[in-house]
Amino acid sequence: MKRRTAGFIEGLAVGLAGVIAGTAISWFCLPGFRKNVAMAALSADTGATEDNGSGTEGSTAQTAGETVANADLMEKLQLMQAYLDQVYLFDEADAQTSRDAIYKAYMDSQGDPYTVYYTADEYSSLTESTNGEYCGVGVEIQQDPDTLTLTILRVFSGSPAQSAGLKAGDILQSADGTDLSGMDIQSAVSLIRGEEGTTVHLTWYRPSAEETMEADVERRQVNIDTVSAEMLDSGIGYIQVTEFDAVTTSQFEAAVDSCQNQGAEGLIIDLRDNPGGLLTTVINMCDYILPKGVIVTTKDKYGEGDSYDSTDDHTVDLPIAVLVNGSSASASEIFAGAMKDRGAGTIVGTTTYGKGIVQSLFPLDDGSALKITVSNYYTPSGVSIQGTGITPDVEVELSEDADLSDASHAGDNQLRAAEKAIQDAVQSGSSGTESGETVPETETQSQNPDTPDLTDAGDGQILAENPDTARRCA
């Protein structure tokens, strides 16, 4: 039997303190460490966080005397290790795998599905995805929140996955012999991605053929297209946005410009099944369309927050309709909420997911990272949509025979309703931004003249996405 030495426990003590306190110092060296663990992380991790007023008590769940990383914890871990060493039948997990599992469990114990720990590999994969370029096989996958199955949503044209025969609808089963069943989507993505030129052995199940397939698939550099655009026969520009990544802003602006250059009478922006993404991106996209005014405001646990505003640098003077459904979440809801509250567009479809909170990424020194829910957000009128979502101006259930993946849009009655909304606006002579005036300031707003850079090292990236519907590229 493979046995681990005391080095595991020693390494765990150092690593656990690093995650909780944000330093490389073991908690044994901090005899005065009795403050709330989360506050210690925010105040000690210089270079990854900003000062959120850790001197104030706030609404903390852990108080003096309830510190997680204490002697009892280490004693119990040593006892558990001793039992494993003496009686466990199989080979034990390596030390780092066990530490990562403890870190993940600690974050999971907060009871917030959006507050998580990323290993170094997982964080690297996440940042690659949001940057719009990565090294993998060229598929976009989504995880069912109930069954945890990983289903391919699309296979990128010209990708290794396409050459290997993978198709949309296939269910991924394993990668290099590792079972993907029940694994969280980011961990699965980390197994499928890798160095360019290497291969990964994938097995997948194709429900349409009731057949299991497998192949060695080469990893290559993949560029992610998050925006597609076309002119409909009605003379209306149709723009689909699948997620809000770092590359999405430029792709969206190019799509808007292309439609306008082709003489579009209006724009339909399709955010159906869009789980969200970077807050920075949705702010920039709204700014490209709207005149000066509030886009969204945030408020943290101390009642402090920011207002992210559009400028007059660029506006779109066309009727706009925004398509949404129950899987349009977070950043999608920020976009739809701004368009609706500002009177700049007609929202069409079904009520959105209802995620009115945002997360921030806090990179740690060892390459891992924490994603923590940091604030509520509010639409320009000061409304929180957490748990309720955004109700469309025109409510339309999607027809049962409609297929959103059909490029011809046959049977897409929601799209037809959006076209009608645009045509009605054209006939009435109204444009998308006539009512886009600044919304009066509310108690949730702390006005800033300029939108801050949300991706600098002091703040970390701010995310507005829903993990229940989140997509990942592998």
Active centre residues (catalytic):
330, 341, 355
**What span, in angstroms and rounded, lies between the C-alpha atoms of 44 and 25?**
11
**What span, in angstroms and rounded, lies between the C-alpha atoms of 333 and 385?**
8
Q: Are 288 and 317 in contact (CB under 8 A)?
A: no
Q: Which residue has the tokens 């044209």?
A: 157
**What span, in angstroms and rounded, lies between the C-alpha atoms of 317 and 433?**
6
CA distance readout (Å), 9 to 4, 25, 103, 456? 9, 15, 14, 35
What is the Rg, in whole angstroms, of the alpha carbon atoms belonging to the chain? 24
**What span, in angstroms and rounded, lies between the C-alpha atoms of 239 and 237?**
7
**Chain centre distance of CA 1:** 41
Q: Are 44 and 24 in contact (CB under 8 A)?
A: no
Nearest to 213, CA basis, from 223, 200, 203:
203
The three-state secondary structure class of 123 is helix
CA atoms within 13 A on the CB side of 108: 8
Determine whether 312 is exposed, middle or buried from the number of CB atoms within 10 Å of its CB (0-12, 13-18, 19+). exposed
**Chain centre distance of CA 99:** 25
Residue 185: both structure tokens together: 């989507």
**How many residues can be counted in the chain?**
474
Q: Encode burial over 80-116: b for 16+ CB neighbours within 10 A, e otherwise.
A: ebeebeeeeeeebeebeebbbeebbebbeeeeeebbb
**What span, in angstroms and rounded, lies between the C-alpha atoms of 423 and 265?**
8
